[in-house]
Structure 1
Amino acid sequence: MKTIAVLTDFSERADNAAMYAVHLAQHLKVNVLLYNSFFVASAHQLSAQVAWPMEDFNELQHDSEKEMQLLLAKLKKELTLSPEGFTPAIECGSHGGNLVDNLDELLADREVIVLVMGSHKKGVATLMTANHMRELIDKALLPVLIIPEYKTFAPIHKIAFATDLHGGDIEFIHSLASLARSFDAEILIAHTTKTDDNELVDTFLNKVTNNVDYHKIYFRPLKDMSVNDGLNWLIEQGQIDMLVMVHRHKSLLERFFTRSNSQHTAADSEMPLLIYPYPVKSMIVF
């Protein structure tokens, strides 16, 4: 069965992301996998200089499993307080080592449609550091949904898809339509530009019309704006419930997060951010 995988370090932000994920799973009628990858010294680059007793590993594993059961109890209680006709099954898993290195095992024999994680909080020594988040986004072959610290789940009415009019974005809009359709939500295709590129826009929108069977897709040019300013405008003024981007080399996402003020805005906003990897082996249907 389709599954949402929640990557947790048991911080408050991760717990909140897990709460969001179970409600999303209720709505999409899919299951949930909670997953923790705890630090192991033998996985660290200095491990050769470190004596790492097996009892310490066992203690870390025990602590991870204990915290997992506490989180599981919270989520099950949350589900009983908000019955919606479908109750997702919740599976738990934990392994020692680097999160990205464990992804293949995590995803094996499971139909995972999205990885969910809490947004990074600067200065907090948790698993989900900025470097781990960037590494996950770089290497994951599935969409990654980043949930802000205090964002609670609510029905999605408008989704903004930020594009540079790359032809490959059509298939991602097609995938996104399967998510939007479940909420009867609008998809707002947004393109930042400082030049007159009407012909390029028309070609792109014609491809969308011919290839994406969804009736609530709209286009908004963000004229005379940089990528940075345009995306910040969408987050702050666009009245959207989710921002969606595709991560490819020198992509909008990369350009957006290279500036510290933009990263700060995204981390502190109340906007869930869905990031599609590029390329993908197969396109996700929500």
Structure 2
Amino acid sequence: MRTILVLTDFSAATRNGAEMALYLASRLRVRLTLLQVWQEPIRVKVKDVSPFPLERQCRQAHNPDYQLKQEVVRLQQLEMREGDLAPVSIETISYPGNFKSGLKRATMNNKILLAVARDHQPDLDFIGRPDHLAKTEDLLSCPLLVIPASYTPDPAFTHIAFAIDLAWKDPRVLACLRPLADALG
């Protein structure tokens, strides 16, 4: 199934990127997939945390599955507030392991039209680290939309801009953009 993939770490930038991806998925009538890849922490096993309510709250707040569920609820509430959005199916993937394995799992059964990721830089002049973005695009084989940390979503957006060096792997880059362009019309 055609989908838009959001690589999330629950920062403000990725939440804004997820909102923008929700608007886009609604227009394209495709599924939205939230992917969170995380490293398994070292845990101390406690049989019963019921006498320790703060411990239970802390574990719940830092549980990736719980955070993904909260993000889906937030996006569904946004979808209801914006009355003119078409319904969007939202899928979540919480993967313990490394980034490469998580991307392979997310792309296994989905045709990814677009991937949305956040940039670590707050300034628009320094969007993305080229080496990291190039590796991510190679793994995904689809366009990667980088959301700057200062971005605020707007449901009335009309253009998406991609910086493309046509001299670098020209046929592959255009082949990645073609499915997205066809879906947009």
TM-score, L = length of structure 2: 0.71
Contact residue 23 and residue 85 of structure 2 kept, 8 A = no
User: Secondary structure, in 3 states, of the residue corresponding to 2:112?
Assistant: strand
Which of 178, 181, 184 pairs up with 2:182?
A: 178
Alpha-carbon distance change, 147 to 111 in structure 1, aligned in 2, over 3 angstroms:
same
* Paired amino acid for 2:107: L
> What residue is the counterpart of 2:73 in the other structure?
73
Contact residue 26 and residue 86 of structure 2 kept, 8 A = yes
Show the 5 A alignment for 1:233-252: none
In structure 2, distance between residues paired with 1:133 and 1:160? 13
**Residue 29 of structure 1: how far off its partner (Å):** 0.8
1:8 lines up with 2:12 in the alignment: no
> What residue is the counterpart of 2:153 in the other structure?
152
In structure 2, distance between residues paired with 1:65 and 1:7? 14
1:111 lines up with 2:111 in the alignment: yes
* Paired amino acid for 2:112: V
**Residue 65 of structure 1: how far off its partner (Å):** 1.1
- Between the two structures, name the one with larger relative contact order (CA 8 Å, sep ≥ 6): 2
Alpha-carbon distance change, 81 to 28 in structure 1, aligned in 2, over 3 angstroms:
same
For residues 102-157 of structure 1, the C-alpha deviation after alignment (integer angstroms, 9 at most, x for no partner) is 211122222322221122237xxxxxx95765542343322222122324143324
User: Secondary structure, in 3 states, of the residue corresponding to 1:93?
Assistant: strand
User: Secondary structure, in 3 states, of the residue corresponding to 1:67?
Assistant: helix
* Greater strand share, structure number: 1
**Residue 176 of structure 1: how far off its partner (Å):** 5.2
**Residue 163 of structure 1: how far off its partner (Å):** 4.1
Alpha-carbon distance change, 82 to 11 in structure 1, aligned in 2, over 3 angstroms:
same
* Paired amino acid for 1:152: P
Contact residue 5 and residue 114 of structure 1 kept, 8 A = yes
Alpha-carbon distance change, 134 to 40 in structure 1, aligned in 2, over 3 angstroms:
farther
**Residue 2 of structure 1: how far off its partner (Å):** 1.4
In structure 2, distance between residues paired with 1:160 and 1:10? 24
* Paired amino acid for 1:178: D
In structure 2, distance between residues paired with 1:162 and 1:117? 17
For residues 190-234 of structure 1, the C-alpha deviation after alignment (integer angstroms, 9 at most, x for no partner) is xxxxxxxxxxxxxxxxxxxxxxxxxxxxxxxxxxxxxxxxxxxxx
Show the 5 A alignment for 1:28-177: 28-40=28-40, 52-53=42-43, 55=45, 63-84=63-84, 86-121=86-121, 133=133, 135-149=135-149, 150-153=151-154, 154-157=156-159, 159=161, 162-164=164-166, 168=171, 171=175, 174-175=178-179, 177=181
**Residue 37 of structure 1: how far off its partner (Å):** 0.7
CA RMSD of aligned residues (A): 3.2
Following TM superposition, where does structure 1 have runs of at least 4 consecutive aligned residues deviating by more than 3 angstroms? 52-56, 59-62, 129-135, 157-167, 169-177
User: Secondary structure, in 3 states, of the residue corresponding to 1:33?
Assistant: strand
Alpha-carbon distance change, 98 to 173 in structure 1, aligned in 2, over 3 angstroms:
closer
In structure 2, distance between residues paired with 1:36 and 1:104? 13
Alpha-carbon distance change, 5 to 55 in structure 1, aligned in 2, over 3 angstroms:
farther
**Residue 64 of structure 1: how far off its partner (Å):** 0.4
Q: How many residues align?
A: 163
Contact residue 142 and residue 176 of structure 2 kept, 8 A = no
